[in-house]
Amino acid sequence: MKKHKTIEVHHESGRVEIDAEIYPLIEYFWERGWDTACSCQGDCAEGEQAYITFTLLAYAERALNALHEALLTLKDEDFTVALNTWYWYDGGGIVGQILISPPGRLSELVEALRKLHG
């Protein structure tokens, strides 16, 4: 059973289902060539964070820098963005995962990113 409403999109890896609320952020990163492995839009009511796992640590670091820049323009201390890293045995390298809180306000981050970088 799906926890969140998803949308099906075509990606170079084939058709994938992505949580609807996080898709605009994923799309923003894909437009820059920063490939992702998995994601979840999170749930404020359950105290969850949104997350995006990138296939390369370098992509996660670029995303983190872009998000920090967007947060500076929002001047909102309620947002937190963090980076987790680990070695992904199946992927053969170090991956990075961005955690975003509060998850219910992802659209504000996308809007700020697009204002900064188009």
pLDDT at 91: 62
Which residues are within 8 A (CB) of 68 and not within 5 positions of it... i.e. 6 or more apart? 81
Query: Whole-angstrom Cα distance, residue 27 to residue 46?
Result: 25
Q: pLDDT-based confidence at 2, cuts 50/70/90?
A: low
pLDDT at 1: 47
Query: Whole-angstrom Cα distance, residue 112 to residue 74?
Result: 7
Query: Whole-angstrom Cα distance, residue 19 to residue 41?
Result: 6
| CA 85, chain centre distance (Å) | 14
In the chain, what are the domains? Answer: 6-117 (3.30.1360)
Q: Burial of 24 by CB count in 10 Å (0-12 exposed, 13-18 middle, 19+ buried)?
A: middle
